[in-house]
Amino acid sequence: MRVSLMDDLTSIMDDLKQGQRRSNLEDLKLERAPTPEQAVGYMLMRSPNESNRDYRYNFDPLENLYMKKLVSERVLENRIIMDADDYFKGIVFLDYYANVIRGSTSFLSDMYEIAQQLEGLRQDLDPDLKLIVTYTSISYISQFQMPMRSQNTTSSAIRRHESLNTIISDPYISLREIDPTYSSLASMVCSQFQDERIKGMIPNATGAYDLKALMFTDALLPYIESKELVYHRLEINEYAKAAMRALALAAKELSYDTMNEYIERLGGS
């Protein structure tokens, strides 16, 4: 049967439309999952600020933006002393512990006392991430892991996480919309992660508190043997439960003796 000119034109137009559709999909990167850096840049650009302080002397503009997007005002109201190399990961760790796990910043006064203790050993000595992880995990397990209290603590933490986590509900990531500043911020955020498996879960995060829970858990993972128990919670998007499971598991590997020994070792180094 002979095909009419109109049929030929219709076929050509359909092909052009399909080609345009494929081109748009490629432009928007819908044909593959975003990288962790792309996901973080897009998310934080659309997330509300956690705080609005400007540190003109201590931090550069990118570090200032990191603090605004990931550290709450109620945590920044406290005096926090930390080793410079661990500061940006450590401050997010403390922020998530305060706002989600504990629901309080009162423990930060203890952290300040530890910093003073270290300064007494050596003037240039500040708490590092390992010391902070040791203190918080032991404190958590000693105060909140009695059977009834543990269940209530977990439920409260989940509620706080969900209420604080502003969900970025865009169905896709348009890379052309990501501001270059936020691309740089995303690189800084992703550089805080050590565990590649956790870093690979970043694109599943729906908001800044999911991201903070991942960073919090990443900081605990080096002190945990049964890592699969934590990975499983994260893979099913139970971020607060994963963080609390990681705290409990880390506490089993650590002790006050470990912390005191570590402080003494820091003082002698």
- Looking at the fold, whether 27 and 120 belong to one and the same domain comes out as no
- Are 120 and 267 in contact, with CB atoms under 8 Å apart? no
- 207 vs 202: CA distance, rounded Å: 10
Tally of domains within the chain: 2
The pTM (predicted TM-score) of the whole model is 0.83
- Looking at the fold, whether 98 and 12 belong to one and the same domain comes out as no
- Looking at the fold, whether 158 and 225 belong to one and the same domain comes out as yes
- Looking at the fold, whether 15 and 94 belong to one and the same domain comes out as no
DSSP state, 45?
H
pLDDT of residue 213: 98
- Looking at the fold, whether 192 and 259 belong to one and the same domain comes out as yes
- Looking at the fold, whether 105 and 10 belong to one and the same domain comes out as no
The residue among 32 and 79 whose pLDDT is bigger is 79
pLDDT band at 24 (very low <50, low <70, confident <90, very high): low
- Looking at the fold, whether 81 and 106 belong to one and the same domain comes out as yes
- 210 vs 229: CA distance, rounded Å: 18
The residue among 57 and 92 whose pLDDT is bigger is 92
- Looking at the fold, whether 258 and 149 belong to one and the same domain comes out as yes
pLDDT in tens, 190-246: 999 999 999 999 999 999 999 999 999 999 999 999 999 999 999 999 999 999 999
- Looking at the fold, whether 41 and 94 belong to one and the same domain comes out as yes
Lowest average pLDDT, out of 25-29, 81-85, 106-110, goes to 25-29
- Are 93 and 216 in contact, with CB atoms under 8 Å apart? yes
pLDDT of residue 17: 58
- Are 226 and 253 in contact, with CB atoms under 8 Å apart? no
- Looking at the fold, whether 194 and 178 belong to one and the same domain comes out as yes
Sign of the alpha-carbon torsion through 79, 81, 84, 87: negative
- Looking at the fold, whether 139 and 81 belong to one and the same domain comes out as yes
| Burial grade of 116 (CB within 10 A; 0-12, 13-18, 19 or more) | exposed
Place of tokens 């992880």: 133
- Looking at the fold, whether 114 and 170 belong to one and the same domain comes out as yes
- 67 vs 72: CA distance, rounded Å: 8
Range of the domain at 182: 36-268
pLDDT in tens, 85-107: 999 999 999 999 999 999 999 98
